[in-house]
Amino acid sequence: MTLSLTIATEAPGLQQRLGKTLATLPLSYRASDGSASASVMFITGHADWAARATAAIEAGARGIIIADPGITDADAILTLADRAEQAGAVVELAERYAGDPTLLRHRADLVQHLAATSTILMSQVGDFATPADAALDMVRTAHALSQPLTLTHVWQASHAVVVRGTAGEKLFEAIATTGSGGVGQRIDALGFGRTLRLALRGDGSASPSDLRIANAKGERKLSPVYESVDRAAWLRAHAALDRGEPDGQPLRQFAADVAMIQAL
Amino acid sequence: MNMVKPLGVGFAGAGPVTQAIHLPTLAHLPDLFTPACVMDVNGDLAAAVAAGAGARSVTSLEAMLADPAVDVVAVCSPQQFHADQVIAALRAGKKAVLCEKPLANSADEARAIAEVSAETGIPVILGAMHVFDPAWIAVKDMLGDLSPRARSIRSSIVLPLNDRFENWATEVTGRPEMAFSMPGEMTPDVTRQMFHTLILGLAVHDLPLVRTFLPDWRDLEIWSARQLAPFGYLIAGHAGGRAVQLAGTMHGHGEAYWDLEVVTDTELLRIRFTPSYVHGGSAVATITDASGAVRQIGPFDRNGYVEEWRALHAAAHGDQGAVPSLDTVAEDFDFVIDVANKASASAIGELS
């Protein structure tokens, strides 16, 4: 039988988002009634999210889900990873692009095809708090696709940021532009024998992203997943708590990504 | 009923561009044009191409320009001959000249063409099919609103090797060996030549469109320019606060992705062009707004090749407004050369 976890949010702004996801997981989660501390906390990824997550664990939370984690102090993230492991707590990241359910469903297939490409281009449109946050979104997607990314340059225009680097032997370049039309992240991976075109929605909805692989046989569209980023993250958190196996490694990778961007 | 006699076309150069682009395009416009003469220094090639087109063949430009059946000239020769041949056609008093891209080898040559065109009053148009694409033309009507708000511009050209589409367009005869092959070592000279070849040969199609969104294009600064394997370019820069990314590469599979994207504060404009050579209709433009609503423009059944020849016909009959002014074309060329020079300088700087 599914263990039902209580969940709450520390931020009024997340309440509606929590309610929407809760409605899709009525057996796995139920809203905390406030009579006792929730077993899982849904935390905004703004500013000092790592410190707030650590505080929630200290207060007794067994699980933490971070909504759209952004740039924060890398050392605070490492502290969170250590503290979570010590306490047996699970920390799950609900990342708008890197956590895309369609992307994650096909990750193994995509990684295999990416091995035959030589260039990765990204283009992202949407609002971002800082250029570093935009760069982080793009770096995180590259890592979600198991690309060993190293950034070497960053440039800024009035409403855009461009980052450049390598992913192993591949060239990597990404551009993020602030804008409200056509929001999303697009990844074009180019190789002589195949091209991958991934259009990630990033809008938090259950509308699926569009992933396509073209090779000599033609273009193939990968099957869509009609699930929101939050729902997928909540399920991962639930499964990890069921297993009783907290893993701090994803947080440490996130901290490394933040540190790489901040070092530019 | 249109009783105007079709204009006779003389082709300078009988290679794949003449065979696979322009002769098949003229077959769509029999009321407006008829192939009259094919010139190539390779007499056998000229004769073979001319025979298929029902035209006569010659081996010198002078002989072709002396042919009274040639009303307009299409310069489809290697680019080092473009300026001299265009100017010779203007001096010969033809009704109009279509010059394949690039217009010239240098800004000085482009200005010389503009001066002789102005002096003779004979129009010259550049064979730039995207400039004449009906979807782009429709989008241009909205640029008064979109262009001032552009924040980033991205040109992405990911195409199969040319022969795939050439072979669908026609049966090419006398195909030359591939003019560009990857060198073993990227010296500064090789790097400079490679970027110029790629920018003037591939990026040139979209750079006039990119320039439309860059009012401060003369201030272009290149941040980064890298070669893409096996051959291609990846260039990033900015002008007037707007970011620009240009990517172009060719590959061995069949899908063609030829996109121009412009991000404004509230819209994403994306234009997907059809591949070169084939008559696959126009581009399709989409404008996505903040609500997620998508407005689609096109596809139209006509493509840029047909439209550039229609424009040439109108210009040959005195409608100068049918084609971009040569000042505009020359400024487009200045931009192309500027991109090539700055990108190659950036790439060379990374060699050391």
Stretch A167-188: mean pLDDT, rounded? 96
> ipTM for the complex?
0.91
CA distance B258 to B158: 6
CA distance A105 to chain B (A): 24
Taking only the tens place, the pLDDT of each residue in B316-334 is 999 988 888 888 998 999 9
> According to the model, what pLDDT value does residue B87 have?
97
Distance CA A116, CA A98 (A): 21
Judged by a CB distance cut-off of 8 A, whether residue A197 touches chain B is yes
Per-residue model confidence (pLDDT) at position B4? 76
Task: Give the pLDDT of residue B223.
Answer: 97
Interface residue ranges in chain B relative to chain A, Cβ cutoff 8 Å: 151-152, 154, 156, 158, 223-224, 226, 228-230, 232, 234, 236, 238, 241-243, 245, 247, 249, 251-255, 257, 261, 263-268, 270, 287-290
pLDDT tens-digit profile of A2-34? 679 999 998 888 999 999 999 999 999 999 987
Q: Is 90 exceeded by the pLDDT of residue B175?
A: no
Q: Evaluate if residue B141 carries a pLDDT over 70.
A: yes
Task: Strands of chain A (E only): list them.
Answer: 5-9, 29-31, 40-44, 63-67, 90-94, 119-125, 149-156, 160-167, 170-177, 184-190, 194-200, 210-215, 218-221
Contacts of A155 in chain B (CB under 8 A): 223-224, 236, 238, 243
Quick one: pLDDT at residue A75?
97
Cβ–Cβ gap B263/A155 under 8 Å: no
pLDDT at B321: 87
Option in B151, B228, B234 nearest A160 (CB): B151
B5 pLDDT higher than 70? yes
Question: Would the pLDDT of B179 be above 60?
Answer: no
pLDDT band at B249 (very low <50, low <70, confident <90, very high): very high
pTM for this prediction: 0.92
Q: How confident is the model at residue B254 (pLDDT cuts 50, 70, 90)?
A: confident
Q: Over B246-265, what HEC string results?
A: EEEEEECCCCCEEEEEEECC
* Domains located in chain A, CATH noted: 5-96+229-262 (3.40.50.720), 101-221 (3.30.360.10)
pLDDT of residue B186: 79
Rounded CA-CA distance A164/A187 in Å is 14
Under the banding of pLDDT at 50, 70 and 90, the label for residue B3 is: low
Residues in A closer than 8 angstroms to B225, CB to CB, are none
Burial class, B32, CB count within 10 angstroms (exposed 0-12 / middle 13-18 / buried 19+): buried
Chain A residue nearest residue B294, CA to CA: A182
List, as ranges, residues 153-182 from A with C-beta within 8 Å of B.
153, 155, 157-162, 164, 171, 173, 175, 177-182
Confidence (pLDDT) at B184: 66
| Structural domains in chain B, sorted by start | 7-127 (3.40.50.720), 134-306+335-351 (3.30.360.10)
Nearest CA to B223 among A177, A124, A155? A155
Q: What distance in Å separates residue A38's CA from the closest CA in chain B?
A: 36
Q: Average model confidence (pLDDT) for chain A?
A: 95
- Provide the pLDDT confidence category of residue A96 given band limits of 50, 70 and 90: very high
Write the pLDDT tens digit of every residue in A31-90: 998 766 899 999 999 989 999 999 999 999 999 999 999 999 999 999 999 999 999 999
* pLDDT of A12: 87
Using the predicted structure, report yes or no on whether residue B180 has a pLDDT greater than 60.
Answer: no
Instruction: Report the pLDDT value the prediction gives residue B346, as an integer from 0 to 100.
Output: 96
Q: Which residues of chain B does A123 touch, with a Cβ-Cβ cutoff of 8 Å?
A: 154, 245, 261
